[in-house]
Amino acid sequence: MNKPLVSSITCATYDESAVQAAVERAIAEIWPGGLAHLVKPGTTVAIKVNMLMAKSPDRAVTTHPSVAKAVCNLVKECGAQAVIIDSPGGPYTPILLRNAYEKCGFAKVAEESGAILNVDTSTVKVKRETKANLNGAELLRPAIEADVLINLPKLKTHGLTTMTCAVKNLFGLVPGIQKFEYHMRSPDLNDFCSMLVGIAELAEPDLTIVDAIIGMEGEGPSSGKPYEVGAILAGRDVHAVDLVAAAMLGLKPEQVPTIVVGQAVGLCPMSLSEVDVRGQVSPKHRGASLPTASIRTHLLDQLMPRRWADRLSRQLRPKPIFMRSTCSSCGVCVRSCPPQAIELKQGELPQVELDKCIRCFCCQELCPQEAIEVGRSWLGRLLFR
Protein backbone atom coordinates (compact mmCIF):
# COMPACT_ATOMS: atom_id res chain seq x y z
CA MET A 1 0.00 0.00 0.00
CA ASN A 2 1.40 3.39 -1.01
CA LYS A 3 2.14 5.91 1.70
CA PRO A 4 0.16 9.19 1.54
CA LEU A 5 2.40 11.94 0.18
CA VAL A 6 2.81 15.32 1.85
CA SER A 7 5.13 17.98 0.46
CA SER A 8 6.73 20.63 2.67
CA ILE A 9 8.26 23.48 0.72
CA THR A 10 10.30 26.15 2.48
CA CYS A 11 8.83 29.65 2.12
CA ALA A 12 9.74 32.37 4.60
CA THR A 13 7.85 35.32 3.10
CA TYR A 14 4.44 36.30 1.77
CA ASP A 15 6.02 37.94 -1.27
CA GLU A 16 3.64 36.92 -4.05
CA SER A 17 6.29 35.57 -6.42
CA ALA A 18 7.88 33.50 -3.64
CA VAL A 19 4.52 32.10 -2.54
CA GLN A 20 3.53 31.33 -6.14
CA ALA A 21 6.74 29.37 -6.65
CA ALA A 22 6.36 27.49 -3.35
CA VAL A 23 2.74 26.52 -4.08
CA GLU A 24 3.68 25.29 -7.56
CA ARG A 25 6.57 23.22 -6.16
CA ALA A 26 4.35 21.76 -3.42
CA ILE A 27 1.77 20.63 -5.99
CA ALA A 28 4.45 19.35 -8.39
CA GLU A 29 5.67 16.95 -5.69
CA ILE A 30 2.20 15.36 -5.78
CA TRP A 31 1.60 15.57 -9.53
CA PRO A 32 4.66 16.26 -11.72
CA GLY A 33 2.33 17.83 -14.26
CA GLY A 34 1.02 20.29 -11.68
CA LEU A 35 -2.56 21.24 -10.86
CA ALA A 36 -3.71 20.41 -14.41
CA HIS A 37 -3.68 16.77 -13.31
CA LEU A 38 -6.64 17.58 -11.03
CA VAL A 39 -8.30 20.66 -12.53
CA LYS A 40 -9.76 20.45 -16.03
CA PRO A 41 -10.88 23.28 -18.35
CA GLY A 42 -14.44 24.51 -17.83
CA THR A 43 -14.76 23.17 -14.28
CA THR A 44 -15.55 24.99 -11.03
CA VAL A 45 -13.02 24.82 -8.19
CA ALA A 46 -14.06 25.72 -4.64
CA ILE A 47 -11.17 27.21 -2.63
CA LYS A 48 -12.02 26.64 1.05
CA VAL A 49 -9.95 29.26 2.89
CA ASN A 50 -9.79 29.86 6.64
CA MET A 51 -11.80 33.05 7.12
CA LEU A 52 -12.57 32.67 10.81
CA MET A 53 -13.43 36.33 11.18
CA ALA A 54 -12.88 39.70 9.54
CA LYS A 55 -9.24 40.26 10.47
CA SER A 56 -6.39 41.75 8.47
CA PRO A 57 -3.87 39.23 7.09
CA ASP A 58 -1.02 40.42 9.33
CA ARG A 59 -2.85 39.06 12.39
CA ALA A 60 -2.21 35.45 11.24
CA VAL A 61 -5.83 34.52 11.96
CA THR A 62 -6.88 33.68 8.41
CA THR A 63 -5.35 32.13 5.29
CA HIS A 64 -3.02 34.74 3.81
CA PRO A 65 -4.37 36.24 0.56
CA SER A 66 -1.08 35.64 -1.26
CA VAL A 67 -1.54 31.87 -0.77
CA ALA A 68 -5.15 32.05 -1.97
CA LYS A 69 -4.08 34.13 -4.97
CA ALA A 70 -1.37 31.64 -5.93
CA VAL A 71 -3.91 28.81 -6.01
CA CYS A 72 -6.49 30.92 -7.87
CA ASN A 73 -3.86 31.82 -10.47
CA LEU A 74 -3.14 28.15 -11.08
CA VAL A 75 -6.84 27.34 -11.37
CA LYS A 76 -7.21 30.09 -13.96
CA GLU A 77 -4.22 28.73 -15.92
CA CYS A 78 -6.04 25.39 -16.06
CA GLY A 79 -9.01 27.11 -17.73
CA ALA A 80 -11.26 26.64 -14.69
CA GLN A 81 -13.19 29.03 -12.41
CA ALA A 82 -12.00 29.49 -8.82
CA VAL A 83 -14.59 30.26 -6.13
CA ILE A 84 -13.30 31.45 -2.75
CA ILE A 85 -15.54 30.15 0.01
CA ASP A 86 -15.91 29.90 3.78
CA SER A 87 -18.51 30.32 6.48
CA PRO A 88 -17.16 32.38 9.39
CA GLY A 89 -18.57 31.93 12.88
CA GLY A 90 -21.87 33.71 13.53
CA PRO A 91 -24.63 34.66 11.09
CA TYR A 92 -24.01 33.51 7.52
CA THR A 93 -25.25 36.31 5.27
CA PRO A 94 -24.01 37.86 2.00
CA ILE A 95 -23.42 41.23 3.69
CA LEU A 96 -21.23 39.78 6.44
CA LEU A 97 -19.41 37.57 3.92
CA ARG A 98 -18.54 40.56 1.72
CA ASN A 99 -17.21 42.45 4.75
CA ALA A 100 -15.03 39.51 5.76
CA TYR A 101 -13.73 39.00 2.21
CA GLU A 102 -12.74 42.67 2.08
CA LYS A 103 -11.08 42.74 5.50
CA CYS A 104 -9.17 39.49 4.99
CA GLY A 105 -7.81 40.53 1.59
CA PHE A 106 -9.77 38.03 -0.50
CA ALA A 107 -11.74 40.71 -2.36
CA LYS A 108 -8.46 41.97 -3.83
CA VAL A 109 -7.47 38.38 -4.67
CA ALA A 110 -10.70 37.94 -6.61
CA GLU A 111 -10.20 41.21 -8.45
CA GLU A 112 -6.65 40.33 -9.50
CA SER A 113 -7.07 36.63 -10.24
CA GLY A 114 -10.58 36.46 -11.69
CA ALA A 115 -11.85 34.31 -8.80
CA ILE A 116 -15.43 34.57 -7.59
CA LEU A 117 -16.26 35.40 -3.97
CA ASN A 118 -19.02 33.07 -2.86
CA VAL A 119 -22.12 34.73 -1.38
CA ASP A 120 -24.46 31.81 -2.01
CA THR A 121 -25.52 30.75 1.50
CA SER A 122 -27.49 27.67 0.43
CA THR A 123 -26.68 24.26 1.90
CA VAL A 124 -27.06 20.64 0.87
CA LYS A 125 -27.54 17.56 3.02
CA VAL A 126 -24.60 15.21 2.51
CA LYS A 127 -25.53 11.68 3.59
CA ARG A 128 -23.02 8.87 3.72
CA GLU A 129 -21.73 6.42 6.31
CA THR A 130 -18.40 7.48 7.74
CA LYS A 131 -15.81 5.69 9.83
CA ALA A 132 -16.26 8.42 12.44
CA ASN A 133 -19.98 7.53 12.77
CA LEU A 134 -21.27 10.82 11.38
CA ASN A 135 -23.73 9.78 8.72
CA GLY A 136 -24.79 13.16 7.40
CA ALA A 137 -24.42 16.93 7.70
CA GLU A 138 -25.71 20.15 6.14
CA LEU A 139 -22.74 21.63 4.28
CA LEU A 140 -22.23 24.60 1.98
CA ARG A 141 -23.76 23.73 -1.39
CA PRO A 142 -21.27 25.71 -3.57
CA ALA A 143 -18.35 23.78 -2.03
CA ILE A 144 -19.93 20.34 -2.17
CA GLU A 145 -21.28 20.73 -5.70
CA ALA A 146 -18.07 22.18 -7.16
CA ASP A 147 -16.15 19.92 -9.51
CA VAL A 148 -13.04 20.21 -7.32
CA LEU A 149 -12.65 21.17 -3.64
CA ILE A 150 -9.28 22.55 -2.52
CA ASN A 151 -8.82 22.93 1.24
CA LEU A 152 -6.67 25.96 2.14
CA PRO A 153 -6.19 26.05 5.94
CA LYS A 154 -4.02 28.23 8.14
CA LEU A 155 -1.78 26.37 10.61
CA LYS A 156 -2.62 27.54 14.14
CA THR A 157 -2.96 26.42 17.71
CA HIS A 158 -6.53 26.06 18.99
CA GLY A 159 -7.92 26.31 22.52
CA LEU A 160 -10.27 23.36 22.08
CA THR A 161 -8.58 21.06 19.56
CA THR A 162 -4.95 22.10 20.26
CA MET A 163 -4.28 22.54 16.54
CA THR A 164 -6.38 23.68 13.60
CA CYS A 165 -5.25 22.70 10.14
CA ALA A 166 -6.56 20.39 7.41
CA VAL A 167 -9.35 18.51 9.25
CA LYS A 168 -10.54 21.37 11.47
CA ASN A 169 -10.66 23.85 8.56
CA LEU A 170 -13.41 21.80 6.94
CA PHE A 171 -15.71 22.59 9.89
CA GLY A 172 -16.07 25.91 8.04
CA LEU A 173 -18.28 24.07 5.55
CA VAL A 174 -20.95 23.95 8.26
CA PRO A 175 -22.98 27.14 7.78
CA GLY A 176 -22.84 29.96 10.32
CA ILE A 177 -24.59 29.40 13.59
CA GLN A 178 -25.15 25.71 12.88
CA LYS A 179 -21.59 25.32 14.18
CA PHE A 180 -22.89 26.26 17.62
CA GLU A 181 -25.43 23.44 17.41
CA TYR A 182 -22.61 20.95 16.80
CA HIS A 183 -20.80 22.27 19.87
CA MET A 184 -23.93 21.73 21.94
CA ARG A 185 -24.50 18.22 20.60
CA SER A 186 -20.89 17.25 21.34
CA PRO A 187 -19.68 18.98 24.52
CA ASP A 188 -17.24 16.09 25.07
CA LEU A 189 -13.96 16.81 23.27
CA ASN A 190 -13.61 13.31 21.84
CA ASP A 191 -17.17 13.38 20.49
CA PHE A 192 -16.61 16.82 19.00
CA CYS A 193 -13.41 15.73 17.27
CA SER A 194 -15.13 12.60 15.97
CA MET A 195 -17.66 14.93 14.38
CA LEU A 196 -14.85 16.97 12.81
CA VAL A 197 -13.28 13.83 11.36
CA GLY A 198 -16.70 12.80 10.05
CA ILE A 199 -17.22 16.15 8.31
CA ALA A 200 -13.81 15.80 6.66
CA GLU A 201 -14.94 12.39 5.37
CA LEU A 202 -18.18 13.85 4.02
CA ALA A 203 -16.46 16.83 2.38
CA GLU A 204 -13.74 14.76 0.70
CA PRO A 205 -11.41 17.58 -0.40
CA ASP A 206 -9.37 16.76 -3.49
CA LEU A 207 -6.28 18.63 -2.32
CA THR A 208 -5.10 20.44 0.81
CA ILE A 209 -2.57 23.29 0.66
CA VAL A 210 -1.56 24.73 4.04
CA ASP A 211 -0.53 28.30 4.74
CA ALA A 212 2.22 27.49 7.24
CA ILE A 213 4.43 30.47 6.43
CA ILE A 214 3.37 32.42 9.50
CA GLY A 215 1.16 30.34 11.76
CA MET A 216 -0.18 31.09 15.21
CA GLU A 217 0.86 29.95 18.69
CA GLY A 218 -0.57 30.51 22.16
CA GLU A 219 -4.25 31.35 22.50
CA GLY A 220 -5.29 30.40 18.98
CA PRO A 221 -7.23 30.36 16.78
CA SER A 222 -7.79 34.13 16.97
CA SER A 223 -6.03 35.63 20.01
CA GLY A 224 -2.60 34.02 19.78
CA LYS A 225 0.66 35.38 18.47
CA PRO A 226 2.11 34.97 14.96
CA TYR A 227 4.54 32.04 14.85
CA GLU A 228 7.04 31.60 12.05
CA VAL A 229 6.90 28.12 10.54
CA GLY A 230 8.19 29.00 7.08
CA ALA A 231 6.54 26.44 4.82
CA ILE A 232 3.80 25.59 2.37
CA LEU A 233 2.41 22.08 2.87
CA ALA A 234 0.38 20.10 0.36
CA GLY A 235 -1.22 16.68 0.24
CA ARG A 236 -4.35 14.77 -0.77
CA ASP A 237 -4.85 13.06 2.59
CA VAL A 238 -6.05 15.55 5.23
CA HIS A 239 -4.96 13.31 8.10
CA ALA A 240 -1.43 12.85 6.75
CA VAL A 241 -1.21 16.62 6.23
CA ASP A 242 -2.27 17.21 9.86
CA LEU A 243 0.32 14.73 11.10
CA VAL A 244 3.08 16.67 9.32
CA ALA A 245 1.62 20.03 10.40
CA ALA A 246 1.59 18.93 14.05
CA ALA A 247 5.26 17.97 13.85
CA MET A 248 6.06 21.41 12.45
CA LEU A 249 4.46 23.00 15.51
CA GLY A 250 6.48 20.68 17.75
CA LEU A 251 3.40 18.64 18.72
CA LYS A 252 3.17 14.91 19.24
CA PRO A 253 0.26 13.13 17.51
CA GLU A 254 -1.36 12.28 20.84
CA GLN A 255 -1.60 15.98 21.66
CA VAL A 256 -4.00 16.63 18.76
CA PRO A 257 -7.40 15.00 19.38
CA THR A 258 -8.47 15.02 15.72
CA ILE A 259 -5.34 12.99 14.94
CA VAL A 260 -6.10 10.62 17.82
CA VAL A 261 -9.64 10.06 16.52
CA GLY A 262 -8.42 9.68 12.95
CA GLN A 263 -5.94 7.01 14.04
CA ALA A 264 -8.56 5.21 16.14
CA VAL A 265 -10.89 4.80 13.14
CA GLY A 266 -8.13 3.88 10.71
CA LEU A 267 -8.02 7.10 8.69
CA CYS A 268 -4.79 8.67 9.96
CA PRO A 269 -1.29 7.18 9.72
CA MET A 270 0.03 6.11 13.11
CA SER A 271 3.33 7.98 12.69
CA LEU A 272 5.33 10.09 10.25
CA SER A 273 7.15 6.94 9.17
CA GLU A 274 3.92 5.97 7.42
CA VAL A 275 3.87 9.22 5.41
CA ASP A 276 5.97 9.99 2.32
CA VAL A 277 7.16 13.44 3.38
CA ARG A 278 8.95 15.49 0.76
CA GLY A 279 10.79 18.23 2.63
CA GLN A 280 11.36 19.55 6.15
CA VAL A 281 9.12 18.39 9.03
CA SER A 282 10.86 19.42 12.26
CA PRO A 283 9.85 22.68 13.97
CA LYS A 284 11.94 25.66 12.94
CA HIS A 285 12.17 26.99 16.48
CA ARG A 286 11.46 25.67 19.97
CA GLY A 287 7.98 24.48 19.03
CA ALA A 288 4.81 26.53 19.37
CA SER A 289 3.44 27.51 22.77
CA LEU A 290 0.04 25.95 23.42
CA PRO A 291 -3.30 27.40 24.49
CA THR A 292 -3.92 27.44 28.24
CA ALA A 293 -6.81 24.99 28.09
CA SER A 294 -4.99 22.32 26.07
CA ILE A 295 -1.88 22.33 28.28
CA ARG A 296 -3.96 21.26 31.26
CA THR A 297 -5.62 18.36 29.46
CA HIS A 298 -2.47 16.86 27.97
CA LEU A 299 -0.37 17.08 31.13
CA LEU A 300 -3.01 15.38 33.25
CA ASP A 301 -3.36 12.54 30.76
CA GLN A 302 0.39 12.00 30.91
CA LEU A 303 0.64 12.11 34.71
CA MET A 304 -2.16 9.79 35.80
CA PRO A 305 -4.79 7.26 34.71
CA ARG A 306 -7.54 8.73 32.53
CA ARG A 307 -10.37 8.39 35.08
CA TRP A 308 -8.29 10.20 37.72
CA ALA A 309 -7.33 12.83 35.17
CA ASP A 310 -11.01 13.35 34.29
CA ARG A 311 -11.94 13.89 37.94
CA LEU A 312 -9.12 16.35 38.57
CA SER A 313 -9.81 18.02 35.24
CA ARG A 314 -13.28 19.01 36.42
CA GLN A 315 -11.66 20.85 39.34
CA LEU A 316 -9.19 22.57 37.03
CA ARG A 317 -11.56 23.54 34.24
CA PRO A 318 -10.56 26.84 32.66
CA LYS A 319 -13.06 29.63 32.15
CA PRO A 320 -13.45 32.73 29.99
CA ILE A 321 -12.18 35.94 31.58
CA PHE A 322 -13.39 39.25 30.14
CA MET A 323 -10.83 42.06 30.08
CA ARG A 324 -12.33 45.39 31.11
CA SER A 325 -9.58 47.34 29.34
CA THR A 326 -10.50 45.99 25.89
CA CYS A 327 -14.11 44.72 26.11
CA SER A 328 -16.47 46.98 24.14
CA SER A 329 -19.69 45.23 25.27
CA CYS A 330 -20.47 44.48 21.62
CA GLY A 331 -22.36 41.28 22.52
CA VAL A 332 -20.63 39.00 19.99
CA CYS A 333 -19.73 36.62 22.83
CA VAL A 334 -23.37 36.38 23.89
CA ARG A 335 -24.52 35.57 20.36
CA SER A 336 -21.62 33.15 19.83
CA CYS A 337 -22.16 31.05 22.96
CA PRO A 338 -23.69 27.65 22.04
CA PRO A 339 -25.25 26.93 25.48
CA GLN A 340 -26.26 30.60 25.98
CA ALA A 341 -24.23 30.77 29.16
CA ILE A 342 -23.17 34.42 28.80
CA GLU A 343 -25.25 37.39 29.94
CA LEU A 344 -24.49 41.03 29.19
CA LYS A 345 -26.10 43.84 31.16
CA GLN A 346 -25.80 47.47 30.17
CA GLY A 347 -22.70 49.08 31.60
CA GLU A 348 -21.24 45.81 32.88
CA LEU A 349 -18.80 43.16 31.67
CA PRO A 350 -20.28 39.93 30.33
CA GLN A 351 -20.96 37.28 32.96
CA VAL A 352 -20.65 33.51 32.44
CA GLU A 353 -22.77 30.84 34.11
CA LEU A 354 -19.98 28.33 34.62
CA ASP A 355 -22.38 25.45 35.24
CA LYS A 356 -23.75 25.94 31.72
CA CYS A 357 -20.40 26.70 30.05
CA ILE A 358 -19.14 23.78 27.90
CA ARG A 359 -15.62 25.27 27.49
CA CYS A 360 -15.76 25.42 23.70
CA PHE A 361 -14.33 28.97 23.87
CA CYS A 362 -16.31 30.13 20.85
CA CYS A 363 -16.58 33.42 22.75
CA GLN A 364 -12.81 33.86 22.77
CA GLU A 365 -12.47 32.58 19.20
CA LEU A 366 -14.94 35.11 17.78
CA CYS A 367 -14.33 38.16 20.02
CA PRO A 368 -13.44 41.00 17.63
CA GLN A 369 -11.64 42.94 20.39
CA GLU A 370 -9.57 39.97 21.66
CA ALA A 371 -10.96 40.87 25.07
CA ILE A 372 -11.34 37.31 26.40
CA GLU A 373 -8.61 35.30 28.05
CA VAL A 374 -8.72 31.76 29.38
CA GLY A 375 -8.45 31.80 33.17
CA ARG A 376 -7.49 28.99 35.50
CA SER A 377 -8.37 28.14 39.09
CA TRP A 378 -5.83 28.73 41.87
CA LEU A 379 -5.01 25.01 41.79
CA GLY A 380 -4.53 25.13 38.04
CA ARG A 381 -2.18 28.09 38.34
CA LEU A 382 -0.23 26.24 41.03
CA LEU A 383 0.10 23.01 39.01
CA PHE A 384 0.69 24.46 35.54
CA ARG A 385 2.55 27.70 36.07
pLDDT of residue 308: 58
Distance (Å, whole) CA 9 – CA 11: 6
Per run of 10 residues, the mean pLDDT along the chain (length 385 residues) is 95 98 99 98 99 96 99 99 95 95 99 99 97 96 99 97 98 94 91 98 99 97 96 99 98 97 98 96 85 62 54 67 94 93 94 92 92 71 47
Distance (Å, whole) CA 276 – CA 120: 38
Q: Are 234 and 207 in contact (CB under 8 A)?
A: yes
Residues in the chain: 385
154-158 and 44-49 beta bridge pairing: unpaired
Distance (Å, whole) CA 78 – CA 170: 24
Domains of the chain: 5-279 (3.40.50.11440), 318-384 (3.30.70.20)
pLDDT of residue 307: 58
pLDDT of residue 89: 83
pLDDT of residue 131: 97
